[in-house]
Chains A and B, each alone.
Chain A
């Protein structure tokens, strides 16, 4: 069995143009990057995929100048943050924000709603699960960008506040303050589901 190569070693190989090392790096971090982009941009689909690909292309280009001064994931998430913030600012300027699910043109039915449930739940359970999922997504999407990022990195990526501070370029106090405000907002928006989640 081949010992797992560290991200830093992979970056060293990528610097020399090793595409196989790059493929390993992508496969290792694709869910993390895609999930973060999806949560920040809202939804999933071609735009999210394109931004996630842009992140990795930037990693490839930056490999020549990459210095392992911080944890690789911290650096990677900083790249994600910069790209997502730039893209959302561009999108806001174009004013073409549309948070709805993709809809079947013929039936008008939500494509996400009719997708088979991966966990094998009954249609009724799946429906209430999707409702909950959508409520959480919407509540997160309504948070200001910085709060959304802090919540995502802490909740889903399990990052320390110090790391989040490095990614967002904020002090520890500022990050904790954002987390506090996000918690208060989420509590209000999801109050209807909080008792039932136990």
Chain B
């Protein structure tokens, strides 16, 4: 299609003729093939990355579930109290054990 040209708005005939002698370079040979090869390369790379990104969330979710389970399992049970008598009995048992050990050792 012939473009409407106005010498006032455009470069002017002389300058246009000069610029026409230095046309921009053309794409090198195999440009399309090389671009397609790069596309495939990038898709493979991105495919690998998206797989890893997907699994990363699975790993993170698994780890978070394990931590939550451990915290729940480890927390003190509600209503669980140790009476003073139980504490003293345990201490007495330790003292008793120590005395027996010393007796057997001849001390």
Contacts and interface: CB of A to CB of B under 8 A. Distances in A.
Interface of A: 19, 22-23, 26-27, 30-31, 33-36, 38-39, 44, 48-49, 52-53, 56-57, 60, 129, 132-133, 136-137, 140, 151-152, 154-156, 158-161, 176, 179-180, 182-183, 186-187, 190, 193-194, 197-198
Contacts of B15: 183, 186-187, 190, 194
Contact of B17 (A19, A30, A176, A198): A198
A26 B3 contact: no
A44 B28 CA distance: 10
B32 A27 contact: yes
A196 B12 CA distance: 15
B88 interface: no
B39 interface: yes
Size category, B interface: 20 to 34
B35 A57 contact: yes
B79 interface: no
Contact of B31 (A36, A39, A49): A49
Interface of B: 3-4, 9-12, 14-28, 31-32, 34-36, 38-39, 42
Mostly helix, strand, loop or mixed at chain A's interface? helix
Given A52-B27, A132-B21, 11 more contacts: A26-B36, A31-B26, A34-B24, A38-B24, A57-B35, A137-B22, A140-B19, A156-B23, A156-B24, A179-B10, A187-B15
A38 B25 contact: yes
B27 A31 contact: yes
A34 B27 contact: yes
A30 B26 CA distance: 8
Contacts of B23: 35, 156
A39 B26 CA distance: 11
28 contacts: A26-B32, A30-B27, A30-B32, A33-B27, A34-B24, A34-B25, A34-B28, A52-B35, A53-B31, A53-B34, A56-B35, A57-B35, A129-B21, A132-B22, A151-B19, A154-B11, A155-B11, A158-B3, A160-B3, A176-B9, A183-B15, A186-B11, A186-B19, A190-B18, A194-B14, A194-B18, A198-B14, A198-B17
Contact of B24 (A26, A39, A183, A194): A39
A15 B3 CA distance: 32
A160 B36 CA distance: 31
A180 B6 CA distance: 12
